Structure 1
Amino acid sequence: MSEFDVIKGFAFDMDGVLADTARFHTIAWRKIADEVGTTWTKELEEGLKGIDRMGSLALIISAGGHDDEYDQSAREALAEKKNTNYRELISTLTPDDILPGMQQFLDELKQQAIN
């Protein structure tokens, strides 16, 4: 067995892996929609799923008919504001928010000195 045949560590993306944070993305994007004057709809919310940050922002701005009102610099500032809102929201996560089975899996990794 070579050294490459043994798992030595794991890397996790928190979103949807360790905790369900989709609601926080929705809240943060909705704040941005409110700020730019776009009416929040279920269709808009659904349309944002799987889209990157700048693409999501473009959809929000376009849905409100505000395409000409925001240059690239303003869009980047709005995207950063969304991320700030999101980070504030995820700071409220507790161990109770860990998805089922993940704590046991993490504990098992720790017991096996896999980090």
Structure 2
Amino acid sequence: MTGMRVLIVEDDPLIAMDLEDELSDRGFVAVCATSVARARALMDGSSTGLAILDMHLGSDTSFAFATDLMEQGVPFFFLSGNDASALPPHLAGCHILTKPVRTADVVKLIEIITGAPGS
């Protein structure tokens, strides 16, 4: 899993920076976006292995972006203060980690979703 590119879409800069640092320390190539527009730009032409999405980004949501990721076959999960009841029906069943979260839990879910052993 070392070197896997992980896109973090999170509007809280402290959470985003902490996740980016922790994942980078574990060998991932972590990149952050604070909006869906920026996340789309970072996805363009990239080889993202997985995305971590905050459900609510200011007045926007990441649901349409999650749908696009599904269609592209890019694995993702939500990291949110909300639970599964906040998801639209077509995203029901997606993995969610509820904030606050431990980095070890994030890495474990990455392993489960990608099927790759952790570093």
Q: TM-score, normalised by structure 2?
A: 0.23
**Higher normalized strand content (fraction of residues):** 2
> Which structure is larger by alpha-carbon Rg, 1 or 2?
1
**Higher normalized helix content (fraction of residues):** 1
Q: TM-score, normalised by structure 1?
A: 0.24
